[in-house]
Amino acid sequence: MSFDHAHPALRRTLAARGYTAATPVQAAVTAETVRGRDLLVSAQTGSGKTVAFGIVLAGALLGEAERFVPAAAPRALIVTPTRELALQVCRELTWLFAETGARLATCVGGMDVRRERHALGAGAHVVVGTPGRLCDHLERGALALGACEMVVLDEADEMLDMGFREELERLLEAATGAERRTLLFSATIPPEIAQLAKRYQKKALRIATASEGDGHRDIEYRAVSVVPRERDLAVVNLLRYHEATGALVFCATRDGVTRLAANLHERGFPVVALSGELSQRERNQALQALRDRRARVCVATDVASRGLDLPDLGLVVHADLPQNAQVLVHRSGRTGRAGKHGIAIMVVPEPARRHVERLATSARVQLAWSAPPSGDDIRRRDQEVLAAEIRTLADQPADDDRELARMLLTDRSAEDLVAALVHLRREARPAPEELTPPAPPRRPQPRPHARPQTQHRPTGPGAWFTINVGRSKNADPKWLIPLLCRRGSITKSSIGKIQILARETRVEIAGSDAEAFAVAIRRPDAKDRNIHIEPFDGAL
């Protein structure tokens, strides 16, 4: 599949960049049969979507013209969930549109608003931005969408997950250009996406460029079972054993990111951390360190990783387990992009094995279980890697290197000198960790006379409290009960009914313990700073 239907200026640019064959999504959206249609496209990240909708935009906006003429208002709007993705899309379109004279502007949070207003006022043909910042410019009159002919929503499912539905609707209603076309790209098409498409698209053509299982084709899913206290040590050994050019390690919280990144840095890994507390400048510096290879490992939270497209990312490690199948697929999808092979590994504490197996089944991925690499495994692999490295070095010595080698050979044997080189190269690598072999998985034994489980009820009238997490934040008694016991200095027997609502959870505490519980929960808690427990004084 070639780029026959692309604008001539883009065909030349693509050829110069070495693009000879279109990916499935590029071929599907640029086919002659879909010309002029609204499109609802399900395609995985890393499938070449940016080039795909760039070709569509150029064809629709340029027509037969070779170059863009000056524009008083934007002719195309591209909306992405994160600033990193917006900047990445702008970089891609900048080289793709290099011969067309297109002017592009970005509008994203964390950047200079005055500079963005100037770029919009100077006449941008294509605007790329995040929903919140775009709506801000729209409300202040800096962004006019009355002449907008094309709207692209990239990773629409993520934008809805992040709560941007109202902003997306505002932008779509403001884009009132004649015969406006809307292209909606989403990894999945849940009901919310289908409703958005039905309301704002005109007889959209549905394009699915991958089947349910194809999103995992280039990713090898693995799980390693570990003793819970040795999670960080297992991450060290996984990074050492695989030695991927780029690795992304996921933690559940900002504190977890900070701690694990510091742990890896102390052991000698070139590592950066990405979490929501970083400023835009700090995030940019971290990403640049990864792109220019000064850092090889990135430790990040789920929110901080959205929209990341890191070069040569060969390994994803789930240091903290994903909350659900969608998060598992999204995290793992950072690797195995653009046809490259990737590995995604979950670090599984022994008690969580059955939960992870259900997670993999729900995500429709094949999971290979093993023990984490041992110190001996890593040392054996080092032998192979070091031998290959040194043989490669031996094939390309410079004259001054040979001169120094001859001088060294006057008083040292060749074996001693090569051994010293091996030692030098080995010492540059972080030392592997010694892990406790995990116990073999236990099979559940049937209990012929097991009594049915009953919910415990505290004796006497109970007092009710609220927790500021509900179904929307995956509230579950499995982790709420330990949290209540720790925060309130109570035992499980003091907890009665638990009612999980959409945005909060209500819990009953035994009357005899309620007063002490109310005092205990007011104490600051470093582990779960964002979770608040308060007395409930409403009617049940």
Question: Tell me: the pLDDT tens digits for 158-204?
Answer: 888 778 899 999 999 999 876 889 999 987 777 888 888 889 999 88
Q: Name the amino acid, one letter, at 213.
A: G
Helix/strand number for the chain, H first, E second: 20, 18
Identify the pLDDT of residue 212.
Answer: 44
Please, are residues 248 and 335 in contact by the beta-carbon 8 Å criterion?
yes
Identify the pLDDT of residue 526.
Answer: 67
Please, are residues 267 and 276 in contact by the beta-carbon 8 Å criterion?
no
Cα atoms in the Cβ-side hemisphere of radius 13 Å centred on 435: 28
Please, are residues 188 and 325 in contact by the beta-carbon 8 Å criterion?
no
Identify the pLDDT of residue 450.
Answer: 44
Q: How buried is residue 282: exposed, middle or buried, by Cβ count under 10 Å (0-12/13-18/19+)?
A: middle
Rounded Cα distance, 338 and 357, in Å? 28
Name which of 35-39, 244-248, 283-287 the model is least confident about.
283-287
Identify the pLDDT of residue 446.
Answer: 54
Identify the pLDDT of residue 455.
Answer: 45
Please, are residues 264 and 237 in contact by the beta-carbon 8 Å criterion?
no
Identify the pLDDT of residue 444.
Answer: 52
Give pLDDT tens digits for 243-273. 888 899 999 888 899 999 999 998 889 999 9
Given a cut of 90, whether residue 82 has pLDDT beyond it is: no
Q: How many residues does the chain have?
A: 540
> What are the φ/ψ torsions at residue 37 (nearest 5 degrees)?
-90, 150
Given a cut of 80, whether residue 525 has pLDDT beyond it is: no
Domains annotated for the chain, with CATH where assigned, are 8-208 (3.40.50.300), 215-376 (3.40.50.300), 462-535 (3.30.70.330)
Residues 146-160 have a mean pLDDT of: 90
Which residues contact residue 35 at a Cβ distance below 8 angstroms, ignoring those fewer than 6 apart?
5, 59
Identify the pLDDT of residue 451.
Answer: 42
Please, are residues 359 and 322 in contact by the beta-carbon 8 Å criterion?
yes
Q: Which residue has the tokens 């080092």?
A: 382
Rounded Cα distance, 248 and 341, in Å? 15
Give pLDDT tens digits for 294-353. 899 999 988 766 666 676 788 999 999 998 887 888 888 888 766 678 899 999 998 889
| pLDDT band (50, 70, 90) for residue 517 | confident
Identify the pLDDT of residue 213.
Answer: 46
What mean pLDDT, rounded, does the chain reach?
Answer: 84
Identify the pLDDT of residue 311.
Answer: 63
